[in-house]
Amino acid sequence: MAAEPPVRFGILGCAEIARKVSRAMLLSPNSTIVAIGSRSIEKAAAFAEKNGFPAAAKAYGSYEAVLDDPEVDAVYVPLPTSLHLQWVVLAARKKKHVLVEKPVALNVAELDQILAACESSGVQFMDATMWMHHPRTAEMRAFLSDESRFGRLKAVHSIFSYNNGDDFLKNDIRVKPDLDALGALGDTGWYCIRAILWAVNYQLPKSVTAVKNAEFNEAGVNLTAAASLHFDHDITATFYCSFLTNLTMEISLLGSNGFLRVHDFVIPFQEDVGPFYMNANTKFAPLSIGIEPATLERTVKTELPQEALMVTEFSTLVKKIIENGFEAEKKWASISRKTQVVVDAVKASIEKGYEPVEVVF
């Protein structure tokens, strides 16, 4: 039987993250790369050759040329956040399905224009938050849903930080106000906020309060941020994100009967296995010389890295639209919008002198 035709991707730009995601497209069983565009055709061609693109993949000297290629089904957009509105909206209008890097937009008003364009054209939208697609994520959810072992969620804390040195802090697009003005809050904070929302089944907090003493560079771009999220029910939720502290990717979740911790939720330390740690119904051992039962380590293996699983899931949704006339899956747009709304609220809290800010969806 003939193989199913893959979803044909075009890539807008030659960002470093595009190397990882293009590899994922070639590992995924239902996708391939047919085009890449850059402001320089020479740069696009060199990127394609360096990263092992199929020989037939076309290199273009503009982003629009990729969008005008009739052989492109979907585009991956790893451009600076300030360019997302322009190019994602144009991609959607040209009937290209969109996988876009996060943060998706500079604010929810921009995101709403992006989502409206995708919905109007009937194209699939997804942001590239890769950890959502690792099989470990589903197994962690199963533990959180176990009333006897985990119970009711009472507290969640997330950290994502890294320190890439002086050159990063001077030259990376993530610290440039005209390219990625949300800084650490938009980059690492996006993951932390997503982790909290995931933990509470995407219920939104009623308000957020940023923690005092966020740090900024001379251009006013955020380099560290922390906040607490306030829910109607009795859950304590906090996060810390930074470009100034050691690489850390933690989620800690405390329930009435159990505890879960993952040390590498953003990018697994090993791409073929993702561990997490569970405690259930924990007590002190006799004489308080330990605990019972012992912490359980669960390792979840995967044949494909999480970014390839993300591409596979996205491509599956695209194929349903192209081949079967299905409507676009709206779940991913809703999750992105909830994440963006909370990012916006934390930013507003910082700007208002760390006052509580209502979260309005």
Half-sphere exposure of 237 (CA within 13 A, CB side): 26
| Residue 267 DSSP code | S
Count CB atoms within 10 A of the CB of residue 15: 19
Rounded Cα distance between 174 and 183, Å, is 5
Helix 183-199 to helix 331-351 angle (10° resolution) is 130
Would residue 96 show up in a list of annotated catalytic residues for this protein? Answer: no
Of 265, 132, 268, 254, whose CA–CA distance to 202 is shortest?
A: 132
Half-sphere exposure of 133 (CA within 13 A, CB side): 22
Measure the CA–CA gap between 179 and 185, rounded to whole angstroms: 14
Place of tokens 């979803």: 7
Instruction: Please pick, among 43, 58, 95, 102, the residue that the annotation labels catalytic.
Output: 102
**Cis peptide upstream of residue 293 (ω within 30 degrees of 0):** yes
d(CA 191, CA 339): 9
Between helix 306-324 and helix 16-27 the angle, nearest 10°, is 60
Per-residue tokens: 26: 């070639």
| C-beta separation of 49 from 38 below 8 A | no
Catalytic center residues = 102
